[in-house]
Structure 1
Amino acid sequence: MPRSSGPVDSPARLSLISRHLAPSYPLNTPYTVERHPDNIDTSLLPKTQTRALTTDANSSAKMSTQPEHPTLLIPGPIEFDDAVLNSMSHYSESHVGPAFVNVFGETLSMLRKLFQTTDSSAQPFVLSGSGTLGWDLVAANLIEPGEDALVLSTGYFGDGFADCLKVYGANVTQISAEPGSRPQLPEIEKALSEKKYKLLTVTHVDTSTGVLSELKNLSELVHRVSPDTLVIVDGVCSVACEEIDFDAWKLDGVVTASQKAIGCPAGLSISMFSGRAIQAFQNRQTPPTSYFASMKNWLPIMQNYEAKKPSYFATPSPQLVRALHTALTQIVAQGVKERFAAHKAASDKIKAAIAALGLKQVAANPDDQAHGMTAIYLPENVKGAELLPKLGARGVVFAGGIHKAIAAKYIRFGHMGVSVLDPSRGHVEKAIKALEEGLSECGYQKA
């Protein structure tokens, strides 16, 4: 597996991400509106804002107040529960008022349950920003210019984390796997034994490939071979759908975002750092290399909010925090282990259906396959640019490929949150049917 510390081709990366962001269905495509069940009186509801979430007569139909829209099944943002979206419509309030302070404090406490930590020295952070801000938190606070970082890359976002660390002056050694695979423990052990690294980063699920990195044995290896090295996890596409046992696995940092498996609209950078990571920050010889992303500024704010004391450094988003509070309340009520199991069961069903269509995954080894998304190789005679609009015409939105080595060869199916936890929505069945029909329309027939 090649090891590289060279810069990533920025124009190519921008081209790939623009493909990821571009609409994958015609903007003027008409979408079929599903009928409301006859036994539900919708006369009091705005007809343009109600729809049936299922047409399956054997399931309990639920109503949604969301406008009719194509089903979003990309690796984030995901579809949202109505209660979460309703939380966003909360009236304006002071970010240091007692009501909001109480909600924010409860939100931070619930994050401990999500990450599975009871360590009082660990600290959750919730900042306004995207998941990428988590990289900056790590790079600006936990490593100093000139110190060494080991980055394990399984795709586009592993490369991005390496780029971020370089911007802040870290010396980065990168172990990159071929598309669909991940760096192996012997190679990682060799690198750790050759140099002292301040931290190691790993992307738990790289959204560009659907590769799931194993954390438990990796962390055990780091603590055995290089016990002073911090273990940092990019969990943007894994938190709340893949198991993360922060305490038991002795992780030092996990950074994530609100809009993926947590099931909250985009706009919040969410992270958990261990007491050991906080101590590493406090032992810095130089000041943090960011102002907004400085733990010096944010640590006391987070500690105060969790203690339900008003505090201020920069204005949070009360509406987004309330939405996150609702999402976390649902997650805790369900149970995190039950949530992980439900995502795995749904993933197994989806991957079996994909195999039945004669399609292969980018991550060929089942042990390397994520449970919240699937990266699917296209048949040789089918192009993503041709298939994705056909899925869109059937009311389903998948994402195109963004890994620069294979971008045109695959598509990505995100299956997180309510789309798999609420079977009455019928999202999985709708997606598989759309995929089968879309491939057929493109001329593909299983051999």
Structure 2
Amino acid sequence: MSNASHKLCMIPGPVECDGDVLASMATQATSHVAPNFIECFGETIELLRQAFFAPTGQPFVVAGSGTLTWDMTAANLVEPGDHVLVIVSGIFGDWFGECIEVYGGKVTFLKAPFGSRVSDDELRAALDRAPVPYKLVTLTHVDTSTGVLTDVEAFAKIIREKSPSTLIAVDGVCSVGAEVLKQEEWGIDVVLTASQKALGVPPGLGVLVASRRAIDVALHRKAPPSTYFASFKKWLPIMQKYEARQPSYFATPPVQLIMSLHISLKQLLNAPGGMLARFEKHAEASNRIKDLVESWGLKLVAHNRQIAANTLTAVYLPEGVTVPALLSKMGSHNVVIAGGLHPEHAQKYFRIGHMNISVVDDGKLGHLKSTLEALKQSFKECGYTLPQ
């Protein structure tokens, strides 16, 4: 497909990718045990520790979507009958809980109303009510269905104080690489994500970093892991071998995708100001978009700006405008955005993703400006008169 026919992809993932990241995939057939790939994969594992702020964590990079990392978390850390608290700020929290139930976990859901998030006091009360300490608590850092941001640092502190034996897992699919998330400093046992969002790589990689405590739990569980492909026991020696620059094999890694992740991570970490500057740019872009849509008389799905994510903006439609009509008009202006995702509210709102090069290189690329101009024009074409 030529660039002339490409519509700007401004959904909450997959996101637009840097040209060098894409070019790194255009290689001849390469063995997964070729010396150049072993070096690439080994360094990628090391770079992930920096990106996740987890200097002693164990990265796993596996072929699959972010959903696979739910399975990896549940299948390795939860044994049949274990009690798990799942904190829900959107449909992805519900689905994470469903995944844990498949592996025999006894799940308690702590849910916030649509567009809101659980309070600190509600979390404390849930931990106090537990008949036994929870084996695991899961948090969704940014729920892509609502655009709600969870205060992971505060929640992790509460969990560690009230239930120090409890493992903490954070779904960072729509946050890692764009929202502040310091895994080791905050005491998070598992952070999971996927390649196609703020890490800026095409879809196809599940990425997970586990603490030493999580690895120990997985390796010394009473029941055998109820998974084969997603087993920490299977993948741990593979990751260790590649990091030691030695060939290894369990299942064929997606060579070209790992090459592109390697390039993207170097860009993320070596850019001026590093990851902290990247977080700030995403916050600035988010405020720019949210300020404008609110000035148009539109309402954010997130109940207030303090709980709104920096990686996407979820917005209620004005009266008289439908999701299909708005998306069609946007497409006619060569910009793709997303409709609502939450099953109970999907036709009431739309979502704009703003991650990766569309944010950090916006001065050169103009993605945000193009998106906002297309959105303004599309609303007019849908019959909604913007406030002057």
**Normalising to structure 1: TM-score of the pair?**
0.84
Match of residue 304 from structure 1: 241
Match of residue 90 from structure 2: 155
Match of residue 171 from structure 1: 106
Structure 1 residue runs of 4 or more that deviate by more than 6 Å after TM superposition? none
Is the counterpart of residue 97 in structure 1 residue 37 in structure 2? no
Question: Over aligned residues, Cα RMSD in angstroms?
Answer: 1.0
For structure 1, which runs of at least 5 residues remain unmatched after alignment? Answer: 1-47, 50-65
Is the counterpart of residue 390 in structure 1 residue 325 in structure 2? no
Query: Larger Cα Rg: Structure 1 or Structure 2?
Result: 1
Mapped partners of 2:295, 2:122: distance in 1: 35
Mapped partners of 1:330, 1:111: distance in 2: 12
Match of residue 373 from structure 2: 433
- 1:69-117 Cα offsets, whole Å, 9 max, x none, are 0100000000111101101111111111211110000001000110012
Is the counterpart of residue 339 in structure 1 residue 274 in structure 2? no
In structure 2, give the amino acid aligned to 1:79.
E
Match of residue 159 from structure 2: 222
- What does 1:9-24 correspond to in 2, within 5 Å? none
For structure 2, which runs of at least 5 residues remain unmatched after alignment? Answer: none
In structure 2, give the amino acid aligned to 1:266.
P
The secondary structure found in structure 2 opposite 1:133 is helix
Mapped partners of 2:165, 2:351: distance in 1: 37
More helix by share: 2
Mapped partners of 2:276, 2:366: distance in 1: 23
The secondary structure found in structure 2 opposite 1:263 is coil
Mapped partners of 1:368, 1:405: distance in 2: 21
Mapped partners of 1:249, 1:81: distance in 2: 31
CA drift at 1:67: 5.4
Mapped partners of 2:238, 2:268: distance in 1: 25
In structure 2, give the amino acid aligned to 1:279.
D
Count of aligned positions: 382
CA drift at 1:194: 2.1
8 Å CA contact 2:380–2:386 kept in 1: the answer is no
Match of residue 323 from structure 1: 260
Identity value in percent:
48
- What does 1:382-421 correspond to in 2, within 5 Å? 382-421=321-360
Mapped partners of 1:329, 1:197: distance in 2: 38
8 Å CA contact 1:357–1:436 kept in 2: the answer is no
Match of residue 250 from structure 2: 313
Is the counterpart of residue 80 in structure 1 residue 20 in structure 2? no
The secondary structure found in structure 1 opposite 2:33 is coil
In structure 2, give the amino acid aligned to 1:277.
A
- 1:171-209 Cα offsets, whole Å, 9 max, x none, are 000011111111111111111122211000011000000
Deviates more, 1:292-301 or 1:302-311: 302-311
Mapped partners of 1:194, 1:283: distance in 2: 28
- 1:396-417 Cα offsets, whole Å, 9 max, x none, are 1000101122111100000001
Match of residue 212 from structure 2: 275
8 Å CA contact 2:142–2:174 kept in 1: the answer is yes
In structure 1, give the amino acid aligned to 2:101.
K
- 1:278-310 Cα offsets, whole Å, 9 max, x none, are 111122001101000011100111111112111
Match of residue 260 from structure 1: 197
The secondary structure found in structure 1 opposite 2:315 is strand
Is the counterpart of residue 378 in structure 1 residue 317 in structure 2? yes
Match of residue 44 from structure 2: 107
The secondary structure found in structure 2 opposite 1:247 is helix
In structure 2, give the amino acid aligned to 1:153.
V
8 Å CA contact 1:193–1:226 kept in 2: the answer is no
